[in-house]
């Protein structure tokens, strides 16, 4: 089975949202078609998807703001797990961010999610203990 990693297009938005549900990523207020479309319009290379025989089986968002490279929404379809795809997606995201100039990368991980933490703790990334994230939802123009 060949898995191709490519940048998502707006046509992938519905399948990406389905993958995130199937993979049981932690839902947020921006899990909708408009938000995925906005991301792709803002940076057409930020959302990477893994495709196998026409089906999306993985995703990762590689965001670059000119200061840090940020990784979000790493997801692998349950049927494709433990075959190295998660690691491949992270490596591809890091390679992409590096090509843009990102020297420092970060990933937000739900700390009580044993599966996600298991993946990251086994990676070459370092867990940062002396920072805490603050978040806020806000209204945006329609």
Ligand X SMILES: CC(C)(COP(=O)(O)OP(=O)(O)OC[C@H]1O[C@@H](n2cnc3c(N)ncnc32)[C@H](O)[C@@H]1OP(=O)(O)O)[C@@H](O)C(=O)NCCC(=O)NCCS
To 10 degrees, what angle do helices 33-42 and 13-22 make? 120
Size of the residue set binding ligand X (CB under 6 A): 21
Q: CB under 6 A: which stretch of 10-18, 20-28, 35-43, 49-57 binds ligand X?
A: 20-28
Q: CB under 6 A: which stretch of 1-9, 29-37, 76-84, 130-138 binds ligand X?
A: 76-84
Q: Can residue 106 be called a binding residue for ligand X (CB under 6 A)? A: no
Nearest one of 73, 65, 61 to 23, comparing CA atoms: 73
In the complex with ligand X, the residue whose CB is nearer, 11 or 82, is 82
Task: Using the structure block, give the residue that is written with the tokens 């840090």.
Answer: 68
Among 43, 51, 92, 113, interactor with ligand X by CB under 6 A: 113
CA distances (Å), 56 to each of 28, 39, 48, 49, in order?
A: 20, 18, 10, 7
């Amino acid at each position: 089975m060949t898995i191709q990693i490519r940048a998502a297009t707006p046509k992938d938005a519905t399948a990406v949202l389905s993958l995130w549900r199937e993979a049981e990523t932690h839902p947020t207020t921006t899990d909708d078609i408009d938000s995925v479309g906005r991301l792709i319009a803002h940076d057409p290379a930020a959302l990477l998807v893994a495709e196998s025989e026409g089906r999306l089986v993985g995703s990762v968002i590689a965001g670059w703001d000119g200061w840090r490279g940020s990784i979000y929404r790493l997801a692998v379809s349950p049927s494709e797990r433990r075959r190295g795809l998660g690691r491949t997606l992270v490596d591809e995201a890091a390679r992409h961010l590096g090509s843009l100039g990102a020297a420092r990368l970060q990933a937000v991980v739900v700390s009580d999610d044993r599966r996600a933490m298991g993946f990251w703790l086994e990676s070459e990334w370092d867990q940062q203990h002396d920072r805490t994230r603050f978040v806020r939802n806000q209204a945006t123009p329609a």
